[in-house]
Amino acid sequence: MTPEPPPVNVGPEPSSQPPPRIRVVDDDGHPALMVDGVVVSIAIGAADAPSGYWAAMLPDGSPRSALLLGLGGGTVAHLLNRRYPGIELIGVDSDQEVVDFAREQFGLSLPNLEIVVGDAFQYVAQCERRFDFVAVDLFLGYGFQHGAVSKPFLRQLKAMIGHRGEVAFNLFRDRRTDQRLARIGRVMRVYRVDRIKRNLVAHCRGY
């Protein structure tokens, strides 16, 4: 999940009822998926240029397979599918309600996307296959899941991509960002860092 700030509400006064946990809002002209007050994905039209931190997550190479940890509404899945037609995609997300909503509202039922509802850390620990690209976007609301920069998890990702693969991490820019980046760098080679508003995207290799 991504900690993109929610759009400013300039509409009528809010009612006494709290807003739905999962809903569609406007984010700079794009329909956006908001979960627990946080924008986690935006809808990408066929003619829309990639934007935001989601575009920065895209790999530099030409992957044939990708694992998306923290699928959300599937913005990165759609961008990968558009840039690399036919790419094999596996998306892991722990929230069944979000997955069901995204299937209905954000076109998440891509024919080349396998969706796994479950814990991303358990999936990686038990997975025996390799991927050309792994996207790590693990948040709960505004909270970064600290296990995403733990040494065991990083070593598992490194083994998963082999010598030619790539991992992209979405990090929230705060006082701990440099520390998290350094922890990643002790296991993998960080070769590119993009700063987009409140997000930092780190691209890594296993060598």
Mean pLDDT of 15-38: 88
Going by their DSSP bridges, the two strands 30-35 and 22-27 should be labelled as antiparallel
| pLDDT tens-digit readout, 152-206 | 999 999 999 998 899 999 998 999 999 999 999 999 999 999 999 889 999 999 8
Residue 8 confidence (pLDDT): 45
Mean pLDDT of 35-39: 91
| pLDDT tens-digit readout, 43-89 | 987 777 777 899 999 999 899 999 999 999 999 999 999 999 999 99
Question: Quick check: 141 pLDDT over 80?
Answer: no
Q: Interior CA angle at 170 toward 186 and 65, to 5°? A: 90
Domain ranges of the chain: 52-205
Mean of the per-residue pLDDT values of the chain: 90
- Rounded distance, CA 81 to CA 149, Å? 27
Q: Interior CA angle at 106 toward 41 and 131, to 5°? A: 65
Query: How much is the pTM?
Result: 0.89
Chain-centroid distance of CA 67 in Å reads 10
Taking alpha carbons only, the member of 141, 144, 131 closest to residue 184 is 144
Topology classification of domain 52-205:
Rossmann fold (3.40.50)
Give me 1's structure tokens: 């999940």
Determine the length of the chain: 207
Q: Give every strand in the sheet of 65-69, ordered side by side.
A: 113-117, 88-93, 65-69, 133-136, 166-172, 199-205, 189-196
Counting Cβ atoms within 10 Å, is residue 177 exposed (0-12), middle (13-18) or buried (19+)?
Answer: middle
- Rounded distance, CA 143 to CA 75, Å? 20
Residue 5 confidence (pLDDT): 53
Going by their DSSP bridges, the two strands 189-196 and 166-172 should be labelled as unpaired
